[in-house]
């Protein structure tokens, strides 16, 4: 169980660091979008690469931030049962959800996208737009990174659930406070 606890802590730290890092890309995204609007509507200047850059950043933030979001319970879930459940029952739900729903989906996405990303690397694919960004193959690689990070966090969630069910302190699901609407 000590190895499982170490794995859970490692994956949690990994996704926390990556999530906090890519969160800064949202600032870059906003600044670039602001500059694009100013240049286009005040000076009638526009570059495709600049417009693509904030779209690419948006994709990177969402794909690489998915594990961080799962770590912090930020994904949408149906709270009818989960919200009022005991920590032990939440652990059972998390274990089932990660092993039966999340991990198989992540594996399928990885397997389906692997050849797609590999083909992009072999061509060193660039943007299809004239004046667009080079390195589209790097952006497509984020799909695989998404699968790895989210898959690791799913395994960590399953591990955390097992540790909680075994009665290990510090691994029980956190009680969330809900505000009345």
The count of domains in the chain is: 1
Distance (Å, whole) CA 53 – CA 59: 10
Please check whether residue 140 is in contact with residue 57, taking contact to mean a CB–CB distance below 8 angstroms: no
Q: Is residue 116 part of a domain?
A: yes
Secondary structure (DSSP) of 33-72: HHHHHHHHHHH----HHHHHHHHHHHHHHHHHTHHHHHHT
Residue whose tokens read 């794909």:
63
Of 58 and 166, the structure prediction assigns the larger pLDDT to: 58
In a domain, 91, yes or no: yes
Residue 175 maps to a domain: no
Identify the domain containing residue 86 by its residue range. Answer: 2-165
Q: Say if residues 103 and 155 touch (Cβ distance below 8 Å).
A: yes
pLDDT at 83 over 90: no
Percent of the chain clearing pLDDT 70 (strictly above): 93
Residue 176 belongs to a domain:
no
Q: Give the whole-angstrom CA distance, residue 175 versus residue 69.
A: 17
The verdict on residue 181 lying in a domain is no
Is position 179 within any domain?
no
60-75: string of b/e by CB count within 10 Å (b at 16+)?
A: bbebbbbbbbbbeeee
Residue 171 in any domain: the answer is no
Give the mean pLDDT of the chain.
90
Q: In which region does residue 70 sit, left (phi positive, over 0), alpha (psi from -120 to 50) or beta (all else)?
A: alpha
Is residue 137 situated within a structural domain?
Answer: yes
Q: How many degrees, rounded to 5, is the angle at CA 95 between CA 94 and CA 101?
A: 80
How far, in Å, CA of 22 to CA of 17, rounded?
A: 9
The pLDDT tens digits for 139-170 are: 999 999 999 999 999 999 999 999 989 887 77
**Token representation of residue 15:** 């996704």
The tens digit of pLDDT for each residue in 12-45 reads 999 999 999 999 999 999 999 999 999 999 999 9
What is the predicted pLDDT for the residue at 171?
Answer: 77
């Amino acid at each position: 169980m000590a190895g499982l606890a170490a794995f859970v802590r490692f994956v949690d730290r990994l996704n926390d660091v990556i999530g906090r890092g890519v969160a800064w890309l949202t600032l870059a995204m906003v600044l670039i979008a602001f500059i694009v609007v100013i240049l286009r509507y005040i000076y009638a200047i526009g570059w495709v690469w600049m417009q693509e850059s904030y779209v690419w950043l948006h994709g990177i933030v969402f794909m690489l931030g998915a594990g961080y979001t799962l770590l912090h319970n930020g994904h949408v879930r149906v709270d009818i049962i989960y919200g009022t459940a005991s920590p032990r029952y939440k652990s059972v739900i998390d274990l089932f959800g990660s092993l039966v729903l999340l991990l198989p989906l992540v594996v399928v996405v990885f397997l389906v996208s692997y050849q797609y990303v590999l083909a992009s690397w072999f061509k060193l694919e660039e943007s299809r737009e004239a004046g667009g960004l080079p390195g589209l193959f790097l952006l497509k690689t984020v799909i695989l990174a998404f699968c790895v990070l989210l898959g690791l966090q799913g395994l960590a969630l399953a591990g955390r659930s097992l540790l909680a069910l075994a009665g290990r302190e510090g691994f029980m699901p956190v009680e969330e406070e809900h505000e009345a609407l």
